[in-house]
Structure 1
Amino acid sequence: MDHTELTVGDVIDLLMACDRDAPVRQAMNPFFPMAHRLAQVIQSVDEAGRPVVYLAEGRDADTQLGHLPPEVAVELAWQSPVQAPPRRPRRTASGK
């Protein structure tokens, strides 16, 4: 199965539409979605000698920020939108 990977150019193009002062975070683990701070950008080469860039989280204890906001997990299609269950009519004091 072939995977389409974002290129550095793709990421730059996507980031151009964002607020330049907004912090960058990683969304990780679709089965237990968490948010992480980015700390490093490292350029290297893959097994075939092609350039590849890694975005890495930091080592600090506060690098993992907690659960990913539900609306982000829904937008990533990692979770389904959750709706409150329908309300049942309240019972009256007489029990009806």
Structure 2
Amino acid sequence: MKENTLDPEYTIGEIIDRLSAFDRDAIFRMAVNPLFAMEHTAGAVVSTVDPQGRTVVYLAEGGEQLGPLPKSVAVDLTWHEPVEAPPRRRRSATGNL
């Protein structure tokens, strides 16, 4: 099974294996577009045969964009670097009110 590789080709068996580690009642969402990370609902699942004769299965986005992907998810996907707020400097009082 692939583990955070750049190879985008996963078999259905590999996806089933990865998903089987999660609670079957968990909600499934899709993370889309690393540069402007958003979360979407999942839609239809269809298959076809590619020019090499391989069966290819497609999962469509469900048509509903839910909003920005949680920052922690973008970091876990390695789409974004973990960023911490810069330390705050204590400011001195500036005059009387």
Q: TM-score range by the shorter chain?
A: 0.7 to 0.9
The amino acid of 2:86's aligned partner reads P
Corresponding residue number in structure 2 for 1:48: 52
| TM-score, length-scaled by structure 2 | 0.83
Identity fraction in percent: 53
The amino acid of 1:81's aligned partner reads P
**Pairwise CA RMSD:** 1.9
| TM-score, length-scaled by structure 1 | 0.84
User: How far 1:90 sits from its partner (Å)?
Assistant: 2.3
1:16-31 aligned within 5 A: 16-31=20-35
User: How far 1:89 sits from its partner (Å)?
Assistant: 1.8
Corresponding residue number in structure 1 for 2:93: 92
The amino acid of 2:65's aligned partner reads Q
- Give the Cα–Cα distance (whole angstroms) in 1 for the partners of residues 71 and 85 of structure 2: 14
- Give the Cα–Cα distance (whole angstroms) in 1 for the partners of residues 38 and 8 of structure 2: 23
- Give the Cα–Cα distance (whole angstroms) in 1 for the partners of residues 18 and 62 of structure 2: 23
The amino acid of 2:60's aligned partner reads A
User: How far 1:94 sits from its partner (Å)?
Assistant: 5.4
Q: Which runs of 4+ in 1 moved over 6 A?
A: none
User: How far 1:24 sits from its partner (Å)?
Assistant: 1.3
Number of corresponding residues: 91
User: How far 1:20 sits from its partner (Å)?
Assistant: 0.6
- Give the Cα–Cα distance (whole angstroms) in 2 for the partners of residues 34 and 4 of structure 1: 19
- Give the Cα–Cα distance (whole angstroms) in 2 for the partners of residues 69 and 4 of structure 1: 22
1:73 aligns with 2:77: no
Flag structure 2 segments of 5+ consecutive residues without an equivalent.
Answer: 1-5
